Structure formats: structure tokens, C-alpha cells
Chain A
Amino acid sequence: MMNADTLTATKTMNMIEAINSAMDVMLARDDKVVVMGEDVGFFGGVFRATAGLQKKHGKTRVFDTPINECGIIGVAVGMGAYGLRPVPEIQFADYIYPGLDQLVSEAARLRYRSAADFICPMTVRTPFGGGIFGGQTHSQSPESIMTHICGVKTVIPSNPYDAKGLLIAAIEDNDPVVFLEPKRIYNGPFSGYYDRPVEPWSKHAASAVPEEYYRIELGRAATVREGEALTILAYGTMVHVTKTIVEEMGIDAEIIDLRTLLPLDIEAIETSVKKTGRCLVIHEATRTSGFGAELAALVQERCFYHLEAPVERVTGFDTPYPHSLEWAYFPGPVRIATALTKILKD
């Protein structure tokens, strides 16, 4: 297996370009890979993630679909049964619900119910999260709905380098993967301060992306910042927001980017929390029954006697994502700073 360390030719890429490159590499390597979704063909996707792929790989490999998520995912299940490796795009994660039955009852169960007679090696790519004035139907974070399905893996990259390596691993995985792309950071990492200029990915080390094939194994977290004061568990956009606030406050926090929510890298979490004795969980999704609840439960089950303070959660509120009041909803600098102050005082 090729490892990124052995690769030299890198190119500066943003998240979109890295995701595009992952599909480009896989379409070239494996003639079973097909990419499909609304507007992904000639046009190249509303976020440009598939730009140029149809021209390069042909119309039967990269093509537009009807506006029908049940059909997109259902057809992908059938293609998987034939032996293809479909990579359907759902234009916004908010649109995935019409296809949920095909995901929950079909894709996720096929291996189990048929005792591996049939499998579903499908990767559903979909942009998620807010901070782009998308209103309630273009901003949701449905990751805990996905992790609650048994038989689906849930992956969330936080930077271009990871996005490419994780997407390649997802496409090569023989089980269905929901690959949630934090669209707020497609073009640059987000500090959490919506009124500051956007910093492009080119200023970030993780924008140096090998042009070739490489994998980042699913189920492994990354330590974004080592520290002793507390452990912060985050993923996607919130990794960058958290890092900004921690550095501004001068807190020696250990930030763990989960990268894969299921299967979860429990070892990385346990090791870190046992070292720091405090744990803050951060996500943009609504609070109740969010993935943070699972993380908080796991941490207290496994690290209770190492904890010096209750596990804290910083999340979005339990409301639909509001349009005009987006930044009052978003778990931004004030909410994070308040939680940090509290957990460090306890």
C-alpha cells in the first residue's frame, strides 16, 4: 500500500479539488467505480466536486441523475449488487431523507441479511453543515442519524489531505460509507469568526495533497494539537473553529479530529482523556441525541475515574437551522469559550 510519506509530487488543493482528485484517481484505477448524482456530469456539481470528471472518464462512468434520492441510492445498491463500486452524490445532506429507507433498510442490511451473498460497496458523498446562509434545508448535520444505522460507516474529513485519503479508502471499502463533507470549509478553514476574511486552504499545511493514490484508513482519529489541559473531540468544520479559540485563549488543549465517527477510534479518545482528565465534545449538529451524547457516554463509561470535571458538550441548538440568525445558532467562539472556561474551572 502506498503511504503519503513515500509520495513527493504534491499540489496545493482546497477540499473540493482534493475530493475531485480522489474520484479522478479511483475512476482511473478501477473501472467498476461510477460517479453519479444531480448535476454532477457535464456541469461538474453545484460545488464543483466532479468538475471535469465526465469529460475525462466518459458519460457512463460519471453522469447526471433524476432529482430523486430514493432512486439515486436504490440504483446504487443495485449497481453494487452487479459488482460496481458506485459513488453517488446527494447534493445536500438535507436531501438525503427521501433515500433513507434505501440506505437504512437496504444498503446497510444487505451484507447481513444475505450472509454476504450480496454486498453494497457504495460511498454516498454529501455536503453538510451550515455557516453558508443555507437556511434550514441546506445546513443540517445529520451525522448521528447515520451513526445510528447499523451497517453504515460515517466519515467526516476536516482538510484537503484527509479528504482525499479518506475518500479513496471509503470508495475501496466493501461496505456502505456515508462521506459527509463540511461545506463551510470547502474553500478554506473556518476560524469561527464569520466577520473575518476567509483564509484560503493554500495557507494551511494540509492543502499539500499528493496527486497520486493514497489512503487514510477509516476508523483512525488524528491529533490536531497535543496538550495537557483538556481533550477536545471534534470533527469537520468544528476542528478549525475549536483550534482558533483554544489558541486565542492560550489553553493547552489536546484536539482530536475524529475523522471517522463509525467505526470510532476509541483508543485515541481514551488515551487522550485519561491523560488530560477533562473532555469537551463539540459539534454543529443539534444537541439532543447528537453524536456528542454518544461520545460523552463513552468517555464516562471508560474514563470516569480519570475525569476531573463533567464531560461538556458544545453543540448547535435544538431548532431548525435559522437563516438570518445563523450565527446565533452556530456553536461559535462565545459558546466554545464559555464551555472551556467552565470545564477548566471545575
Chain B
Amino acid sequence: MPESDRRPASNLPPLSLHIPEPRYRPGDTPDFGDIEVPAVDATPRPGEATKPDAMRDLCYGLVRVLDFDGAAKGQWDPKLSPERLRTMLRYMMLVRAFDDRMFRAQRQGKTSFYMKCTGEEATSVASTMALDRGDMCFPSYRQQGILIARDYPLIQMMNQIYSNRGDHLMGRQLPIMYSAPEHGFFSVSGNLATQYPQAVGWAMASASKGDSRIATVWCGEGSSAEGDFHSALTFATVYNAPVIFNVVNNQWAISSFSGFAGGERTTFAARAVGYGIAGLRIDGNDPLAVYAATQWAADRARTNNGPTLIEHFTYRSEGHSTSDDPTAYRPASEPTIWPFGDPIARLRQHLETLGEWDGERHEAQRSELDDLVKTTQKQSEKLGILGHGMHQPFETMFQDVFEEMPWHLKEQCTQMLAEQEAKFGPDWKPE
């Protein structure tokens, strides 16, 4: 007899199962008024060597630097030069221009897939700028800002997105799953959070060799539910690994709100408490807070004071990917009323408040970056777009499974080439 039929008569109150539900669905008028927004200068900045148990409050607060009037305040202000701030703004604007263009290219049928990071630009751009150039980044799939902040050639990103002749990954990977070792950017997997223990391993290796480079890794709040996340934090605390964990809490994992990763009960930064590592919860739409927190965590890691978990509290303004329509599961107005605004607008406002930027320069830069992306796109498209002609020799399908091709793959390759010859004739060559 199944257990469900065996339930004894009981005068105890019935148990009930909680299924999380976001507060607002399409058609509702959302209100984020209950999100606590601590004052900009309310959060103390502990020393980088502070013991995790002496700074637990930071897991539940919110590190902020920029107020909503564009002023930088408090102990966390990284006090960057105007030049550095303008560079940061430029990178974030370039990410947005790139995203818009590539999103459109997907809609025009030039590639299969794209993922924007609109509203989350600071979480990768400002973070990367606070690292050393040799530090290793283990991205999830929405950190194109790392590559852009490290001046990776845009055309190479586009070639990958188009799986064209210039794609050094030979069309094997879904668009945006870049790999750029020379730019300290690990190959994007597509399986979620697998990069977490890998980053710890890289950091452990660096520490064991007496290197000075650290590792840093990103995942979303949704994939922080994966076992890999917890494996990684366990190893990191056990070996005091020089690694920075970024959880980009953009509230949504496709259609699942953060409650399905445990967000109803506590913060994601608070995961650090149980592991005995440092945790910081920050305004992820405040580029200076992101910079300051990363700089703090990097200094901490580099001085053998261990790992840090940073929760970037932010909002995914657009769909999960080109395959997603967020208006099917959340109110369309949510992104516009998000209380922390837009990271690009906020940094622009800050620079303007400082008298280091103005609307004219901003518009000029936007149009310059749009042109840059458009020109680069044309160059990339000369090397082909997905689904229009073949861009890689067929036999590349069998290369790199192993360093040396074993007999069974050679046989299968021969078979496949014969199939292609039967289909296209003997004189066919890839474009």
C-alpha cells in the first residue's frame, strides 16, 4: 500500500507544503517599496583581513557608494579618478551597444541565440576593472563585460556568435560561450555553476605554486542552488583559496524568481556565513560599489586572508535570452520601477555631478560606440553568419575530442566525409 493511502486518522493539524510564488505576475502593479535601501554611508568598510564572523552584518546589509543624486559617499568610495570613471562608463556603454546589436542580429536570423546583460553591466565591467589583468575569470553566460573590460577584440566575440570562419572555437559552441585564455577568461560551459569548483581549483593551484594571481567566478542566484556552488564554497573555506565568488542576484532565473533558490528566507551573501567565509551584499547597479567590493575581496584573497562571496543585488531588465519572453511571467513594468535604477545612467549622473561629463559627450560617445559595433559587425559578417553556408571544414567536428584522434574517430570521420561527398559532390569546399 502506498504511503499516501496509509495516512492514519490524526487530530494533529495538517502539514502544508510551501510553493514559493513571486508577489507580482503579469497584469499586477509591482511595488518594490519594501526593499530596504540603507543610507549610502551607513555601511562601514572593515579591513581586508577582518575575520568573517566579525563582519556578518555585511551579508545582510547593502554596500552602496553612489546615492541617487549621483554623489559618491562613505567608507566604500573607491575614489577613482575621473579618467578611470570615464573608462568604466565607456566599457559599460560598449557592452550595451554590443548587446543591442547582437540581439538584433539574432532577430534578423543571423545567429541562433543571444543573451543580453542589460542592467547588469556593472557586475562584470566594474568587477573586472578592480582585478589585476592576470587574475583568472570563470564566467557564467552573462559576463560579456569581462571581455569588453579587458579589451578583447569585439570581432572575435561576433565571430563566435556567428559560428563563422573567424570563430576560433570552430562553431562548436552555442553563441556567447566564449573562451579567451589570453584575456584570463575561462571557456563558458553552459551547464550551470560547474565553473564554481573549477575556479576554486585554479585558485588552489595558484596558491600552491606561490603565484600572486587570484581566481574569480560568477553565477546567478538561481544556479547558486546547484551542488557545485556548495562544493566550491566547501573547498574554498577548507583550503582558504584565493577566490572571489560573485552571485549576480538579478531576481530571475528564466521564469523562476529568486525564491526558488532560497531567496525568500535569507540573502545570498548569507550563504557565506555557514561556510565561515567573508560575505558582502552590494548594490549591483552601483558600479562604484561593485568596484569597491571586488577590490576589497581581491586584496583579501591576495594577502592570504581567504575567499569572499559577493552578492550583487540587481535586476535582469530583459529576457533570460533571445528564447525567452519575460512578460509571460512577470509584470512588464518591473524593470522600470527597480529602485536601484540603471548602472550606466547612475555612473553618467555621477560623472556629470563631478563636472567631468555632459549630455553632449554622452551622446557623442553613444553614437561612436554604436558605429564601432556596426562597423565591426560588418567585418565579422564578411566571415559568414550562422546557417548561411558552411564555415568550418567538416573534419573539425572530430578534432579536439582528444589530443590525438583515435581510430574509431578516424573511421567515423571518414564515414561523415563520404556522407558529405554523397550529398554535395566531390568538389565541394567550405566557403
Contact = CB atoms under 8 A, between A and B. Distances in A.
Contacts of A106: 189, 191, 194, 198
A114 B186 CA distance: 9
B383 to A, nearest CB: 16
A199 B189 CA distance: 48
Interface residues of A, number: 47
Nearest to B168: A115
Given A113-B169, A150-B401, A153-B402, A76 B201 contact: yes
Interface residues of B, number: 44
Interface string A50-67: 000000000011000110
Contact of A117 (B181, B215, B402): B181
A118 B209 CA distance: 19
Contact of A79 (B205, B227, B402): B205
Given A70-B197, A74-B196, A78-B198, A113 B173 contact: yes
Contacts of A76: 201
Contacts of A151: 401-402
B400 interface: yes
A112 B400 contact: yes
B170 interface: yes
Contacts of B170: 115
Contacts of A118: 179, 181, 186-187
Interface stretch (A2-10, A97-105, A185-193, A327-335): A97-105
A114 B169 contact: yes
Nearest to B167: A115
B408 interface: yes
A19 interface: no
Contacts of A98: 227
B256 to A, nearest CB: 20
A70 B173 contact: no
A74 B201 contact: yes
Interface string A69-86: 011011111111111101
Interface in A13-60: 34, 60
Given A114-B169, A115-B179, A115-B400, A74 B407 contact: no
Contacts of A174: 403
7 contacts: A68-B234, A78-B197, A102-B194, A105-B191, A114-B187, A115-B168, A117-B181
Interface of A: 34, 60-61, 65-66, 68, 70-71, 73-84, 86, 98, 101-102, 105-106, 110-119, 150-151, 153, 173-175, 219, 262-264, 266
Interface of B: 136, 138, 168-170, 172-173, 177, 179-181, 186-187, 189, 191, 194, 196-206, 208-209, 215, 227-228, 231-232, 234-235, 238, 400-403, 406-408
